[in-house]
Amino acid sequence: MPILLDRRGFLAASAGFIALHPFSAQARAGQAHLRIMETTDIHVHVFPYDYYGDRPVDTVGLARTASLIEGVRGESTNSLLLDNGDFIQGNPMGDYMAYERGMSEGDLHPMIAAMNAIGFDASTLGNHEFNYGLPFLMNSVAAASFPVVCANVATEMAGSAPADTTLVPPYVILDRTLTDGAGETHPIRIGIIGFVPPQIMTWDRRHLEGNVQVRDIVAAAQAYVPQMREDGAEIIVALSHSGIGAADHSDMMENASVPLAAIDGIDVVLTGHHHRVFPGPDYAETPGVDVEAGTIMGKPGVMAGFWGSHMGLVDLMLERDGNTWRISSHMSEARPIYRREEDRSITALVESDPEVLSSVEAEHEATLAYVRAEVGQTDAPLHSYFALVADDPSVQIVSNAQTWYIEQMMAGTQFEGLPILSAAAPFKAGGRGGPEYYTDVAAGPVAIKNVADLYLYPNTVRAVRITGAEVREWLERSAGMFNRITPGATDEVLLNPDFPSYNFDVIDGVQYQIDLSQPSRYNNDGEVVNADAHRIINLTFQGEPIDPQQEFIVATNNYRAGGGGHFPGANPSTVIFEGPDTNRDVIVRYIVDQGTISPSADANWTFAPMPGTTLLFDTGPAAEPYIGAVDGVNIEPAGETPEGFARYRIAL
């Protein structure tokens, strides 16, 4: 059942030199400015700290976002602070709480402590709230001093949504007081309803199957919104932990914020899940979305980035209409906590709120100890010194983890049984990063922070379904990493300096050779420039030539699956799975699951022999101890470069 609250609303007077928002300045008798503030996808980032890199940063942190609140409230006469979900999982502090400390009944989760200190009015659940299981989730939200709502997850499902027994209340009606432009106060009833992607039943099947059921987001909203109006809601805000996707509704769609906004009776849509910013250019071409007006299907909306990077603001000018309120005008904005300068440096725009920091100080210190402590062992070094010239352990561990994860995600789906491959690329591989810019983790203990060396970017896992022919083309695109080599030549330069290492995908699960005598089939931008060239030869699967028609699942990341790098077969049309987890998190979970990992490269790719030919390539000077462990390549020292790189020679 829904819950009804009776609590006095916030009233923030203009103080100091804070300028009033135009709506507050222009409001007259019977008009009131209501500012709705949103955070979303905080993922336990309270401190401005990168636990993987073990260093402070200026681009994340609810403590930074919180420091915007006083000024934001000061700009407005009336305000409301809402969170849009994904708050208890997503960085090592979340893992520390789940895997080390645990959450018993009556315990206080640090994220809830921080949110209580800030003074949130309501929140919804995000898909990541379910990652640690239902008991952990329910014990965490029990200590919240604000209501947590979600309308489409039920412990018992009935014939219609309003008759469901929902996991948490489907909505809440907040009784608040508004101050109008003449200084008079008036009551208002604001309805808050929340939604989560139905895909939680796939992403967290092991926790949820048999315990909860889900409804389609739009169908649930259509059932509950009229009831909220009957209960007296004058303004309804949808907390949509669902991205801004297609305008046309389809059953159980993951990113349903656009058709949700089209529902009559919903006045404001706060979105998230996509880890993007709205209003902003990311959605400039999205049907039903107006990035200039900040509207979704004509309704004011916002998406406040992720990890505390922004605060979302929806400003409403309300007018009395008889005994109720209606929206006469609106504005939307996503206000950042930092600015990226032209030289790519970061300038912090706010400092952290001391009260918020102090509320989680103990857990922050405990998390630092946790990320610095051993979580597993590796029986081989994890380094990337030779990742561009031979199958490599630092890439192998990523592939192993992605395959392990996607195998679990495909179980019980229509795709179960299709062969799973994994595509991964080296990120730290010298180049412009310099001679020290390489992964280097010694054999022995592995700490969580070492994962930053293995996977630099906060990508999320994706899987695409492609054919054997597309596997070959994907590898042809990767082979642009190398210059064309003349057979019999001496000491030609191997690596194309304009080809980024993160586009050198190795596909694990197949075996192949790269013929360097051929020109690259693709240029650096992924365009076919030599249609008759084929560098990928002897491509086999399970010892047999690959069948061009056979279907494969390839585990990768959201960047590649979204078309990043323009790889054949890797585009939104081939995506069959969009994971809620980052590739980093998957690697950590894999290491914890395995205990001891064996990431030794399996040499599934090599260069085709070219007798009498030698090549030169540069790598970090710390590579020397590992020369003898590189399988399938004859490597010897060849001096050093003025930039401090070590130069090596390969005999083909």
How crowded is residue 433: how many other Cβ atoms within 10 Å of its Cβ?
Answer: 13
Contact by Cβ (8 Å): 501, 512: no
Q: Residue 461 and residue 554: Cα distance in Å, rounded?
A: 11
Q: Which domains does the chain have, with CATH numbers?
A: 3-18+34-367 (3.60.21.10), 374-651 (3.90.780.10)
Per-residue model confidence (pLDDT) at position 604: 93
Of 54-63, 432-441, 505-514, the one with minimum mean pLDDT is 432-441
Name, in order, each residue with C-beta under 8 angstroms of 387's C-beta and a sequence gap of 6 or more: 394, 395, 426, 429, 439, 501, 504
- Give CA separation, 150 vs 164, 214, 512, in Å: 12, 10, 49
Of 41, 104, 98, 63, the closest CA to residue 448 belongs to 98
- Give CA separation, 253 vs 243, 246, 293, in Å: 10, 9, 25
Beta pairing class for 511-514 and 605-607 = parallel
Q: Is the peptide bond before 611 cis (omega within 30 degrees of 0)?
A: no
**H-state helical runs in 276-392:** 354-359, 361-372
Q: Looking up tokens 């005999």, which residue turns up?
A: 651
| Host H or E run for residue 396 | helix 393-410
Q: What confidence category does residue 458 fall into, taking pLDDT thresholds of 50, 70 and 90?
A: low
Name, in order, each residue with C-beta under 8 angstroms of 79's C-beta and a sequence gap of 6 or more: 10, 12, 34, 35, 36, 37, 72, 73
Per-residue model confidence (pLDDT) at position 14: 32
Instruction: Compute the average pLDDT of residues 455-479.
Output: 92
**First and final C-alpha spacing in the chain:** 71
Of 190-194, 236-240, 280-284, 416-420, the one with minimum mean pLDDT is 280-284
Q: Residue 226 and residue 419: Cα distance in Å, rounded?
A: 47
Q: What confidence category does residue 18 fall into, taking pLDDT thresholds of 50, 70 and 90?
A: low
Q: What confidence category does residue 437 fall into, taking pLDDT thresholds of 50, 70 and 90?
A: confident
Q: Residue 218 and residue 198: Cα distance in Å, rounded?
A: 11
pTM of the complete model:
0.75
Helix %, strand %, coil % of the chain (to 5): 25, 30, 45
Contact by Cβ (8 Å): 349, 338: yes
Neighbour-count burial of 457, counting CB atoms closer than 10 A to its CB (0-12 exposed, 13-18 middle, 19+ buried): middle
Q: Residue 436 and residue 644: Cα distance in Å, rounded?
A: 9
Per-residue model confidence (pLDDT) at position 3: 41
Q: Residue 167 and residue 155: Cα distance in Å, rounded?
A: 6
Of 174-178, 310-314, 389-393, 483-487, the one with minimum mean pLDDT is 389-393
Q: Residue 313 and residue 105: Cα distance in Å, rounded?
A: 35
Percent of the chain at pLDDT > 90 equals 76
* 3-class DSSP assignment, residue 138: helix
**H-state helical runs in 98-143:** 110-118, 134-141
